[in-house]
Amino acid sequence: MCLSIPGKLTAITSQLDDTFRIGKVSFGGILRDVNLSMVPTAAVGDYVLVHVGVAIGIIDEAEAHKTMEYLLKVENLDEELNSQDS
Amino acid sequence: MKFITEFRDAALVKNYLDQLTEITTRPWTIMEICGGQTHSLVKNGILEMLPKKITMVHGPGCPVCVTPIGIIDEAVHLVKDENVILCSFGDMLRVPGSDKNLLEAKANGGDVRIVYSPLEAVSIAQKNPHRQVVFFAVGFETTAPANALSVVQADKLGLKNYSILASHVLVPPAMEAILADPETRIDAFLAAGHVCTIMGMEEYYPVAEKFHTPIVVTGFEPVDLLQGILMAVRQLESGIAKVENQYARVVLREGNVLAQQTIHEVFDVADRKWRGIGTIPMSGYEVKESYKDFNARRKFNLDFQATKENPECISGDIMKGLKKPIQCPMFGTKCKPEHPLGAPMVSSEGACAAYYQYAENKNLAEV
Ligand code: SF4
């Protein structure tokens, strides 16, 4: 039940006030209604992390890329450290 | 799907394993807090692939597993009332109470409904104005905003027939309790990425410092977990103990402030009993006095302290990282997912169930 899954916000379907919004989120093509009250800045096209029907965070694409490139960074760092040692 | 497949990349996983093997010189014990991470580690076979020197132990991060037996009894008691509709996440239904579980209560005619979100329970309350709808609000910090939001929404809608039976637990106090236990020997923690999505990282800095223990906020995919472990081992090998964020694509240092505000609108921090562990001071959420009409415990005068825990279950030792599920004599014999003796065998995020499922798959693969 602790599972939170990323999905793409495809539409805002209802907006009662500034914060209370409901949107459609696509999880690999399966659409679900998601409460967007906790992510007021989420816009259509953003990837959001959804937990028990509520979006709890927006996924930062640039940070996602950094994660993928972490190992590369580690290797560079090692080289730097080694060259400093010598 | 985007943001999932790339974090399961086999070549990248292998690179991480090579790096880990290269830098690990001493034996290290690392605890992942979250049951979702336990499940992912077991399911993806990562435990077997790790260098022998690294031991992963599985923390108390499965809300299904730590919900005290007294609260299950309260839920079972509630559904005896014909006027009550009890809504719950599906995995709470088979958790053994002292006498019955919710599935049996349902079979006996109780109106128990499985919902995906607490907000669904609010709609059920709207559609059934003459009945009392209670949502069984278990969970860690991750689930607290949704549960709090359901109360705020029910209040806005003027509903008088909605309440929650709250059993919320908090991660940092449990980590401290585990570290302070003289029997435990945990060198580093992987903190739960989704809890931190809500709460941020601030709470972990004093813990890392006080116990000189590295804490790496980590995601759930294989690449995330291996990167988290690598970051922890790098710290351990160089004698550093700081808080790092592997899961920066989702976790901000300050967390989701709006979600925290929603939590604090509805809940107060209170002492909480953890199944298998005992009471940990200031480790849970209780519904605030200002929302007392939405507190099922108050509305129905519930106070079940009784705990008839099965004495054969060693789940407390497992959740403190002292033992592995396979070291329990009941594992796979008297205790199976179909007949769980303890809660960690119920939820797929429970360490016992994760090991059991995995052992089964392995047997199948060997046939
Ligand atoms: S295997 Fe069953 S009895 Fe043993 S610790 Fe796990 S849940 Fe308890």
| B18 in a structural domain | yes
- For B80, phi and psi rounded to 5 degrees? -70, -25
Residue B281 pLDDT level (bands cut at 50, 70, 90): very high
For position B359, what pLDDT does the model report? 74
| B261 in a structural domain | no
Mean pLDDT of chain B: 90
For position A11, what pLDDT does the model report? 94
Residue B182 pLDDT level (bands cut at 50, 70, 90): confident
B65 or B219, higher pLDDT:
B219
| B51 in a structural domain | yes
Give the rounded percent of residues in chain B with a pLDDT score beyond 90: 64
Q: Which stretch of A8-17, B1-10, B184-193, B350-359 has the lowest confidence by average pLDDT?
A: B1-10
Contacts of range A13-19, beta carbons closer than 8 Å, 24 or more positions apart: A19/B258
C-beta separation of B3 from A6 below 8 A:
yes
Flag whether pLDDT at B138 surpasses 70. yes
Flag whether pLDDT at B151 surpasses 50. yes
| B49 in a structural domain | yes
For position A85, what pLDDT does the model report? 47
Total structural domains within chain B: 1
Flag whether pLDDT at B195 surpasses 90. yes
Pocket probe for ligand 1: among B58, B319, B328, the residue whose CB has the most ligand atoms within 8 Å is B328
DSSP annotation of B113 reads: E
Flag whether pLDDT at B200 surpasses 90. yes
- Chain B positions touching A47 (Cβ under 8 A) are 2-3
- If interface means Cβ-Cβ distance under 8 Å, which residues of chain A face chain B? 1-4, 6, 8, 19, 27-28, 35, 37-40, 47, 49, 51-54, 56-61, 63-64, 66-68, 70-71, 74
Q: Which two tokens mark B20?
A: 């880990």
> In chain A, what is the straight-line distance between the N-terminal and C-terminal CA atoms, in Å?
52
| B19 in a structural domain | yes
Ligand 1 geometric centre to CA of B66 (Å) = 13
For position A79, what pLDDT does the model report? 61
**Is B228 in the A-facing interface, judged by CB distances under 8 Å?**
no
Q: Which stretch of B122-126, B137-141, B344-348, B352-356 has the lowest confidence by average pLDDT?
A: B344-348
Cα–Cα distances (Å) from B164 to B126, B195, B309, in that order, read 15, 21, 24
Which residues have a Cβ under 8 Å from the Cβ of B147 and sit 6 or more positions away? B118, B135, B137, B139, B164, B166, B168, B266
Which of residues 5 through 24 in chain B touch A, CB cutoff 8 A?
A: 6-7, 12, 15-16, 19
Residues counted in chain B: 367
Residues B334-338 have a mean pLDDT of: 89
Residue B364 pLDDT level (bands cut at 50, 70, 90): very low
* CA pair distance A49, A59, nearest whole angstrom: 7
Residues B197-216 have a mean pLDDT of: 96
Is the Cβ atom of B95 under 6 angstroms away from ligand 1? no
C-beta separation of A58 from A65 below 8 A:
no
| B191 in a structural domain | yes
Residues B123-137 have a mean pLDDT of: 97
| B25 in a structural domain | yes
> Cβ separation of A68 and B6 shorter than 8 Å?
yes
Flag whether pLDDT at B204 surpasses 70. yes
For position B275, what pLDDT does the model report? 82
Mean pLDDT of chain A: 83
Give the rounded percent of residues in chain B with a pLDDT score beyond 70: 96
* CA pair distance A21, A35, nearest whole angstrom: 6
> Cβ separation of A56 and B198 shorter than 8 Å?
yes
C-beta separation of B144 from B263 below 8 A:
yes
| B197 in a structural domain | yes
Residue B318 pLDDT level (bands cut at 50, 70, 90): confident
Which domains, and CATH codes, for chain A?
Answer: 5-85 (2.30.30.140)
What is the residue range of B208's domain?
Answer: 5-60+173-241
Q: What is the pTM of this model?
A: 0.89
* CA pair distance B136, B21, nearest whole angstrom: 44
CATH of the domain at B213: 3.40.50.11750
